[in-house]
Amino acid sequence: MTPLTNHPEKPFDLPNHSISPTVAADGSSRSAPIFITGIGTEIGKTVVSSIIVEALGANYWKPIQAGIEEASDNEKVRGLISNSTSLFYDEVYKLKLPASPHIAARQEHERIDLEKINNEYTNIPSNCLVIEGAGGLMVPLNEQEFIIDLIELLRAKVILVSRNYLGSINHSLITAALCRQRKLEVVGWIFNDQYLQYEEEIASWSGYPKIASIPFEANITPQFVSEQAQQIKPKLLQCLYDKN
């Protein structure tokens, strides 16, 4: 089976940000951040973000938080990291309503501005940064722009998170197809939860490699995150930096 192919047209005629490569506030060039997105909501992006931050000793940023229960995702990730080097940057938009970001922002008489997020990004030091998105690629941020537009604007590498549920194969392949249509640089897949031996098929059909499979764990602890980080680190580094 050949990988999903590019399609010449963009779905929904979405805006395309034609910008120069992102630079730091001091004018220096910077390495691409790693953007964690997935095939939907509640599929384990925060746990996966924690594991990747721990594996790389990276910094963490979730620019848009919609819905806060006991703790924000920033606070959750901070509480799961064991290393002493990772830094955690404040949200640009911290919205109360647990809804699509554009609706949550509207509820608070705000409009999410991607250029404002990009400006904040340029002030973050240019060492390894993991950015956690909200929901999937087509989550609306305002009346015109989506998560995928933010990824393009930040010139980010993408790690896709998929979780096992009825319909997840379809959702995974649709996500992969959209990445190809928009020519995103996809590092690979991290599968979360108990899969039914079809991770390799999703990887093969999508044309993106499998980085790791994270087992189901009801009680996520720093020890679990540290153990998983050590396990996935070699393949993660290979997928990130080995282009051969």
pLDDT in tens, 181-208: 999 999 999 999 876 778 999 999 999 9
Residue 31: its pLDDT value, please?
Answer: 87
Residue 21: its pLDDT value, please?
Answer: 44
CB 159 within 8 A of CB 129: no
Q: How far apart are CA 53 and CA 99, in angstroms?
A: 26
- Of 242, 186, 243, 190, which is closest to residue 213 (Cα–Cα)? 190
Residue 127: its pLDDT value, please?
Answer: 83
Residue 20: its pLDDT value, please?
Answer: 38
Q: How far apart are CA 136 and CA 226, in angstroms?
A: 26
For 230, the enclosing helix (H) or strand (E) is: helix 222-241
Retrieve residue 158's tokens: 């993408």
From first to last of its 244 residues, what are the pLDDT tens digits of the chain? 334 433 334 333 444 443 334 555 555 567 899 999 999 999 999 999 999 999 999 999 999 999 987 789 999 999 999 999 999 999 999 999 999 999 999 999 999 999 999 999 999 987 899 999 999 999 999 999 999 999 999 999 999 999 988 899 999 999 999 999 999 999 999 999 876 778 999 999 999 999 999 999 999 999 999 999 999 999 999 999 876 5
- Residue 62 among the catalytic residues: yes
Q: Which are the contacts of 11, defined by CB distance < 8 A and separation ≥ 6?
A: 178, 181
- In angstroms, what CA-CA distances link 219 with 45, 190, 224, 225, 237? 16, 19, 9, 11, 27
Residue 17: its pLDDT value, please?
Answer: 40
Q: How far apart are CA 244 and CA 240, in angstroms?
A: 11
Can you list the domains of the chain with their CATH numbers? 26-241 (3.40.50.300)
- Of 209, 208, 181, 213, which is closest to residue 197 (Cα–Cα)? 213
Residue 22: its pLDDT value, please?
Answer: 53
Over the stretch 38-52, which tens digit does the pLDDT of each residue have?
999 999 999 999 999
Global pTM value: 0.88
Active-site residue identified among 62, 76, 183, 233: 62
Q: Give the 3-state secondary structure of residue 173.
A: helix
